Structure 1
Amino acid sequence: MALALTMLRYERETAMRTVIRVAVGAAMAVALAGAAGASDHKDSPYTQANPAADIGDVFIFQGPETGGLTMVFTVNPLSNSGLPGTSASSEIKLDPSLTYAFKLDLDGDARADLAYKLRAADIAGQAQTQSIELKRATGAEAASNGWQGQTIATGRTTALNAPLEVVRGKAGELLFAGVRRDPFFFDFTGVTAPAEFAIREALSGGDGLPAAPTSLGAFGKTDMTVVVLEVPLEPALRKAGFWVVVSDENGSAVDRMGRTGVQGIFLVETPVGYNPEAYLPRDRDRFPTVGDLNNAYNSTPPADDVENYGAQFAYRFRQLEVDEGKVKQTVDFYLPDILHWDADADRAYPNQRSLREDSVFWTIANVNPFYHAPDDNPPPHVSDQPLSNRFPYVAPSVAQAYEAPDSLVPVHPLYLAD
């Protein structure tokens, strides 16, 4: 009987691999057409063409430096990888034409009540260091994607192998923007699941990156521009919805991200050799291609997600063989696409997303009905990057200079001193 059950399970998992490998991983099947779809890198035609607007990941957690609320986003994915369309670590920076905004919903209506907005400006004679300004916006100005709000801090970004720049705000805010290792983390060691198989295959889908089962190897030695903001954890911020938006000079959103890898996992291109009809958008009049769908998704607010994309997500969850009785519940969990933060709940995804935890692993277990992990490899999995408990927390650049080849002492300090 045990053997029969094992064979039945194996046959079901094998049959599902064809369906789920596409639904989860096709966004990375061709080099830069989705080289990091398990996260949110290269998620649309616009972001593929504009890497400084391309949000890779977002994080929210209580920062050990001050005990404040820490928010993080990354842009310029796969830097220093040598792939076409990417830059060296010494060249990446923020785009002065764009506004980068941390958005916080404080009353549960999926609309921003508070936003911290950032813009950069180039400095004559400086190749990478930029001046930056941080605004705090509330009410209608927070909901808007325009460059609005009250200035609370000004300073400079940190260039590669240059002195650490930490901008301090009027109320004790801490802000860092600079070159650091991509903090994306996915540990698929020992997991048996069609979704895991798909993401693993996708990670090595022609882009030349190693797809090793650790945070040090998932995308190889790659950097990003990382922005870290820590603000006082006032009572109103103990529970919130959180997402990040990048908008253009007209105040139109061009990228956004909340939950881990929603576009990379659920809104994917048709893989080579598969029937396009199964993977093209359901509403072909509005979204002729998957690229059109992803561009539209990035330009619209979370409050409109269920109306705009609910049917598309329901279709994808049925492809993933979510139980029919749970499809609506699953759609309602992932849409609106907002990452939840709750200081009084378990300090783990999906009540936060820290730099250390594997939220992709959590998503696989949450959606995939055939998920299995051995008893000696249960979640949570923890990043093996050299992270710090000192602000700005993220690991050094892969191109970090040290005082000597065999030394671990950087040329310039990487974190705030004790």
Structure 2
Amino acid sequence: MSHHLSGPNLRSPRGDARLDMTDLFAFTVPGDRTVLILNVNPAAPTGGEAFHPDAVYRINVDTDGDHQADVAFSFVFTDPQNGRQTVTVHRADGEQARSHEAGGQRVLADAPVSFGAEPEVTVSGGYRLFAGMRSDPFFADLDGILADFQWTGVDWGADKNVFGIVLEMPSTELSPDPVIGLWGRVSLRQNGRLTSVDRGAHLSLTAYFNQDDAAKAAYNEGEPAQDWDTYLEPWSAVLAHTGGYDAETARETLRTVLPDILRYDRSRLALYPNGRTPADDITSARLKMISGGRTPTDHIGPHTDLLDEFPYLGTPHPDPAP
């Protein structure tokens, strides 16, 4: 799966779908603008009717290739009241961007969250923001994957919704250099302590590689800068088992996804693993990796309800399946 159900036992982190990061996208649009999308809450609104008010939803940006955040956008939501919720967006730079707290300047404040079919869009200072329910762009024969790659032809995500956070800005807001790296994170504040409960960039990793529940929890709390040293050996062993990789081939293959940062050269077409658009087939890319090329695809194509304009994600389905 993409990054859905990334907690223990193939469930959401802390058993709460509102904290479950499902996808991360990064691409450019005409006008030299960069779009960043973080989706959460699979099968929304079944697992949660609003964003978690005690969570910090975060998109981290590495602008110098050192595997640490140089710019961080944090999204903090109010406690929903009478079916309404608002979000404030914080931008942190430099050392402040490396804290999981929502620090830095407020670039958008008290923007409305959309729970209906029509997207409410907030524009301020070159930024454009949408937050709310949209059609889930995730496409995969999930039942076939769980049945040891016996394909059913059914797209699990075809009738599903997610909560999307879509932020568009002038590309120079991130870096004059077109090459950036990105990863998402969801942190939860409990008893005065903020804990990272989910993170990722190259999706469909933790379900395949971190099969032990303790390993999943440690991964979700971790930092990309430590990924290579921490996961090269155990993930190489997974590839040897699932795809017959030798040590050298596994090492070279894992360089694409470790550290778990999505590299994006914005001077080139966004096509995974160079950035990612909602139409990119990450499920097939991961199946090919895991199987050593023996299972190159699940034969499911991208959704046709994606929009060519902001907020790019499709109109939510009226009757989401549980």
TM over 0.5: yes
CA distance in 1, matches of 2:22, 2:64: 27
Distance 1:55 1:212, change over 3 A: farther
2:49 maps to which of 88, 92, 112:
92
Structure 2 counterpart of 1:342, one-letter code: D
- CA contact 2:201–2:260 (8 Å) conserved in 1: yes
Partner residue in 1 for 2:313: 394
Q: Give the structure 1 partner of residue 29 of structure 2.
A: 63
**Higher share in strand:** 2
Q: Which amino acid aligns with 1:50?
A: D
Alignment deviations for residues 132-177 of structure 1 (CA, whole Å, 9 cap, x no partner): 101111011111101211001121111224x53112232x111111
The answer (yes or no) to whether the contact 2:2–2:282 under 8 Å persists in 1 is no
Q: In the TM superposition, what are the counterparts of 1:129-144 in structure 2 within 5 Å?
A: 129-144=84-99
In the other structure, the counterpart of 1:156 is: 112
Q: Structure 1 residues 364 and 204 mapped into 2: Cα distance closer, same or farther (>3 Å)? A: closer
Task: Give me the CA root mean square deviation.
Answer: 2.6
Assess if the C-alpha contact under 8 Å between 1:141 and 1:148 holds in 2: yes
CA contact (8 A) 2:139 2:156 kept: yes
1:311-335: CA deviation from partner (whole Å, max 9, x where unpaired): 2111111112123331222233321
Task: State the shift of 1:39 in Å.
Answer: 1.3
Deviation of the 1:203 alpha carbon: 4.8
Match of 1:165 in 2: 120
CA distance in 2 between counterparts of 1:203 and 1:68 reads: 39
The answer on whether the counterparts of 1:357 and 1:382 sit within 8 Å (CA) in structure 2 is no
Shift of 1:237: 5.5
Task: Give runs of aligned pairs for residues 255-274 of structure 1, distance below 5 A.
Answer: 255-268=198-211
Q: Answer whether contact 2:113 2:131 (CA < 8 A) is retained.
A: yes
Task: Say whether residues 1:315 and 2:237 are aligned partners.
Answer: yes
Sequence identity percentage: 26
**Who is 1:185 aligned against?**
139
Tell me which amino acid in the other structure corresponds to 1:383.
P
Number of residue pairs matched by the alignment: 308
Q: Distance in 2 between matches of 1:396 and 1:237?
A: 34
Structure 1 residue aligned with 2:286: 363
Spell out the pairing of 1:312-351 with structure 2 (5 A cutoff): 312-320=234-242, 321-351=244-274
| Structure 1 gaps, min length 5 | 1-37, 81-85, 189-198, 206-210, 269-289, 401-418
3-state DSSP class of the match of 1:337?
coil
C-alpha contact (below 8 Å) 2:139/2:157 kept by paired residues? no
Rounded to whole Å, the distance in 1 between the matches of 2:98 and 2:153 is 39
Listed as ranges, the matches of 1:6-405 within 5 Å are 38-45=1-8, 47=13, 49-64=15-30, 66-79=31-44, 86-87=46-47, 92-124=49-81, 126-127=82-83, 129-154=84-109, 155-161=111-117, 163-170=118-125, 172-186=126-140, 200-203=143-146, 213=153, 217-234=155-172, 235-236=175-176, 238-249=178-189, 250-268=193-211, 290-320=212-242, 321-371=244-294, 383-399=302-318
Q: Which amino acid aligns with 2:131?
A: A
The residue identity in structure 2 corresponding to 1:363 is R
TM-score by length of 1: 0.68
Alpha carbons of structure 1 residues 204 and 131: separation in structure 2 relative to 1, 3 Å: farther
What per-residue deviation string (whole Å, max 9, x for no partner) do you get for residues 226-266 of structure 1?
11111111153521111001112233311101102111222
Change beyond 3 A, Cα 1:203–1:393: farther
**What amino acid is aligned across from residue 394 of structure 1 in structure 2?**
L
Q: Name the SS of the counterpart of 1:101 in structure 2.
A: strand
The change in CA–CA distance for 1:175 and 1:204 in structure 2 (over 3 A counts) is farther
Deviation readout 1:157-213 (Å, 9 max, x if unpaired): 11224x53112232x111111111111123x7xxxxxxxxxx6533569xxxxx854
Contact kept, 8 Å, 1:212 with 1:218, in 2: the verdict is no
CA gap 1:310/1:302 in 2 versus in 1, 3 angstroms: same
CA distances 1:35-61 after superposition (whole Å, capped 9, x unpaired):
xxx211111136151211110111111
Q: Tell me the TM-score normalised to structure 2 length.
A: 0.87
Give the CA deviation at 1:69: 0.9
SS in 2 for 1:298: helix
- Aligned partners of 2:231 and 2:317: how far apart in 1? 38
* Distance in structure 2 (CA, Å) of the matches to 1:177 and 1:308: 34
CA offsets per residue over residues 70-102 of structure 1, 9 Å max, x none? Answer: 11111111236xxxxx43xxx522111011111
Higher radius of gyration, 1 or 2: 1
